[in-house]
A and B are shown apart, each in its own frame.
Chain A
């Protein structure tokens, strides 16, 4: 903890943001309503944007400001807006998903955090950045989002989980290595946007075929398709 005292206030703030992003991943796990799920996802995007702006300010890497603005525009506003519109269009806005054993899922999430901390320890020792500890947090966010995808059956929640995985990777890039090359960042940002559009088409097809967004029904054979 002496290490924390010695850090400049901006680096402390980055660590706080890391904790908050981790918390938002847990909040995603605990949300059962589609609309609140997307709201939490938008907040996660906003936290990521603040983190990259902070990293840009504290390390003086100005290209991170662009990626912060891009994150804010895409992940906190545009994609949540598209998802919300899709949810309203498909009529599942207020739909609550039955979460099997929510407390157990959250505890499993805590176990995943411990696991990712343990796994990332050797990598952390190689880095010299003050915010290197965020590698474990980013890995935990990725794993938590995967857990979200595993525990949900609604296609919509799984898509939010998928986007949150990308958030975790982005966080790792920004906080623990001070950003990717600009071209990679731009590419990924637009990939995610394209993915959001493709998922919209996928939802429509899914609903047309099985009359539901519950992907578990894809496991069953359907005889009267045509």
Chain B
């Protein structure tokens, strides 16, 4: 019983901390670009403002359009409950493995794209088609990363995999170098960050993700944006869990949980800083170069798998 309560508490922490990470990244990026930075908790204010507004829905839309934000947000919360944030071996970790996690992302994306088409606007359709193009190329790379990792850890369950990594100590795995870079590249593409998409853009023609949610307002928009922030944090925590899990709590005690919280917060802050630096250094690429970018991520995943088979097993 206490474990379920802890699992729910961890999920709630995950969901409520996600806007903070987004705010932190924006803050870092503004400082790096010599702009006046907003407060770190600005995303909370934005969400509160959006929740306070009335919902305006276009006449041409169906129930699907109104349902989509809840499905997207629900999928993000479910995904957040599966990924260990500060402690492993919680009952929610046993519900789903990494492949189901990828499935949650796919479900949210699918419903989002349908809702974007539902309104019947040009930008919605364009955004949906672009998003699906990127997703269809990013998903194979993501799955290769997941498969390589699962083959190494002999499990697709995240909690058990973290145990395996922690138990084997410091091992230099050639395959992990490749899949870590591949996962970062996929994460950047999937969460719509700079080389692939610009989250702060106001120019409809260059939008990928934003073009899909142009029609939303009020609490619908708040839910979709919050889900986006959770997704960003999910990829960050997934990266930490897979490659640098040291510090995570593997037994139930206040001290272990405190260490886990501090460790994951520090790692996420560092990862956010790295993302902000890379977004400052790199320019957004043309849409037609995105397949090349994701093809490279796929190649890295494939090299990870091959180097595991050739160098680590044989």
Q: Shortest Cβ distance from B198 into chain A, in angstroms?
A: 25
> Contact partner of A110 among B152, B168, B303, B312, CB < 8 A?
B303
A110 in contact with B302 (CB, 8 Å): yes
A14 to chain B, nearest CB (A): 9
User: Which positions 181-201 of chain B face chain A at CB distance < 8 Å?
Assistant: none
Bound CA–CA A3/B309 (angstroms): 12
Q: Which residues of B contact A110 (CB under 8 A)?
A: 299, 302-303, 306
Q: In the docked arrangement, what's the CA distance between A26 and B168, Å?
A: 30
From A5-13, A81-89, A178-186, give the one contacting chain B.
A5-13
Known contacts A19-B303, A103-B295; is A137 also within 8 Å of B172 by CB?
no
Answer yes or no: A200 CB below 8 A from chain B CBs: no
B212 → chain A closest CB, angstroms: 27
Q: Which residue of B lies closest to A104 (CB)?
A: B295
Shortest distance in angstroms between B177's beta carbon and chain A's nearest beta carbon? 7
Per DSSP, chain B at the interface is helix
Binary flags per residue of A90-122, CB closer than 8 Å to B gives 1, else 0: 000000000000110011001001100100000
Number of A-B contacts (CB under 8 A): 73
Which residues of chain A in 10-53 are interfacial with respect to chain B, using CB atoms and an 8 Å cutoff?
Answer: 12-13, 15-16, 18-20, 22-23, 26, 30
Instruction: Say whether A124 faces chain B, with CB atoms less than 8 Å apart.
Output: yes
Is B310 part of the binding interface, using a Cβ–Cβ cutoff of 8 Å? yes
Considering only residues 259-314 of chain B, those with a C-beta below 8 Å from chain A are 291-292, 295-296, 299, 302-303, 306-314
Contact of B171 (CB < 8 Å), options: A5, A22, A133: A5
The smallest beta-carbon distance between A127 and chain B, in angstroms, is: 11
CA A207 to CA B299, docked complex, whole Å: 36
The 8 Å CB contact of B313, one of A3, A19, A26, A30, is A3
Q: Is the CB of A15 within 8 A of B172?
A: yes
B53 contacts chain A at the CB level, 8 A cutoff: no
Q: Given B292, B295, B296, B312, which contacts A4 in the complex, CB threshold below 8 Å?
A: B312
Let me know if B171 and A117 touch, CB within 8 A: no
Asked if residues A117 and B172 are in contact (CB atoms below 8 Å), the reply is no
The answer to whether A4 touches B173 (Cβ under 8 A) is: yes
Complex interface: chain A residues within 8 A of B310 (CB): 113, 117, 133, 136-137
Number of A interface residues in the complex (CB < 8 A):
29
Which secondary structure dominates where chain A touches chain B? helix
Q: Are A5 and B311 in contact (CB under 8 A)?
A: no
Check A16–B299 contact: CB distance below 8 A: no
Does B174 interact with chain A (Cβ within 8 Å)?
Answer: yes
Q: Say yes or no for B178: interface residue by CB 8 A criterion.
A: yes
Contact A26 B303 (CB under 8 A): yes
B175 CB within 8 Å of chain A: yes
A1 interface contact, C-beta 8 A: yes
Contact A113–B299 (Cβ < 8 Å): no
Structural contact, A22 and B152, CB atoms closer than 8 A? no
The reply on A134 being an interface residue by CB < 8 A is yes
**CB nearest to B305 among chain A residues:** A110
Given A9-B172, A23-B303, A26-B303, the answer on whether A15 and B311 have CB atoms closer than 8 Å is yes
Residue of B168, B174, B296, B309 touching A30 (CB-CB under 8 A): B296
Q: How far is the CA of A114 from the CA of B292 in the complex (A)?
A: 22
Check B291 against A15 for contact (C-beta < 8 Å).
no
Beta-carbon contact of A19 and B311 below 8 Å: yes
Q: Are A20 and B306 in contact (CB under 8 A)?
A: no
Which residues on A sit within 8 Å (CB–CB) of B174? 15-16, 18-20
A23 vs B306: C-alpha distance when bound (angstroms): 11
| B170 partner residues in chain A, CB cutoff 8 A | 9
In the complex, residue of chain A having the shortest beta-carbon distance to the beta carbon of B174: A19
Of B152, B177, B295, the residue contacting A106 (CB under 8 A) is: B295
Q: Which residues of A contact B292 (CB under 8 A)?
A: 102-103
- Rounded to whole Å, the gap between the CB of B304 and the closest CB of chain A is 9
CB of B158, distance to nearest CB on chain A (Å): 18
Chain A residue numbers with a CB within 8 Å of B296 are 30, 106
What residues of chain A lie closer than 8 Å to B168, measured between beta carbons?
5
CA distance A169 to B306 in the complex (A): 20
**A118 to B137 alpha-carbon distance, docked (Å):** 28
Q: Are B314 and A124 in contact (CB under 8 A)?
A: yes
| B298 to A: closest C-beta gap in Å | 9
CA distance A23 to B311 in the complex (A): 14
In chain B, what residue has the closest Cβ to A30? Answer: B296
Contacts of A30 in B (CB 8 A): 296
Shortest A96–chain B CB gap in Å is 14
Question: In the bound complex, what is the Cα–Cα distance between A106 and B293 (angstroms)?
Answer: 13
What are 6 A-B residue pairs whose CB atoms fall within 8 Å in the complex? A3-B313, A9-B170, A15-B311, A19-B307, A103-B295, A107-B299
The 3 A-B residue pairs with the shortest CB-CB distance in the complex, in nearest-first order: A19-B174, A12-B172, A19-B307
Give residues in B with beta carbon < 8 Å to A: 152, 168, 170-175, 177-178, 291-292, 295-296, 299, 302-303, 306-314
